[in-house]
Structure 1
């Protein structure tokens, strides 16, 4: 099957691709904002930590596995956390864990 690409068809294809790309970017931004705004759990957030390294991997489970990386934190980035620590990982929220070695509790918080 051979498609004849006229100027009109090319323009329509480009507009559709741009629209899909725009929707994808907006959805990714909204998901990132929701994850950062969500409290660590239903309990009052009394713990807040700061990343001590750039590119700190946030994982979906408290274990090192290349397939469970869901996000990254920049050095100095602050996030709400839970007091729960398991296997050397601190829980940030549902499906969000970071290595305890690369975060430090902020002053005035109870971790």
Structure 2
């Protein structure tokens, strides 16, 4: 299935927004970091469970890395690479994101 989701491009730096993926059990999220916007499926590569316990909360306390709330694994924002935790060396699943007319456009394949 291919779908295109459109979200407002109003994220502050280091802010995340969770959204549902049509027809899938996992959600996804977008994050603005250092002026760039990234999107990932909300599934930890360790156990395949959601990264967050609270809506839109994906960053570590210092707001430098994406953090799995279940086992504290840390992921780099720009490529989703796990740098510490039980899934070290694995990566989050990225989603292509583009900006068009003040909106974030995310293609889901």
Q: Normalising by the residue count of structure 2, what TM-score does the alignment of the two structures yield?
A: 0.22
Q: Which has the higher strand share?
A: 2
Larger CA Rg, structure 1 vs 2: 1
Q: Which has the higher helix share?
A: 1
Q: Normalising by the residue count of structure 1, what TM-score does the alignment of the two structures yield?
A: 0.22
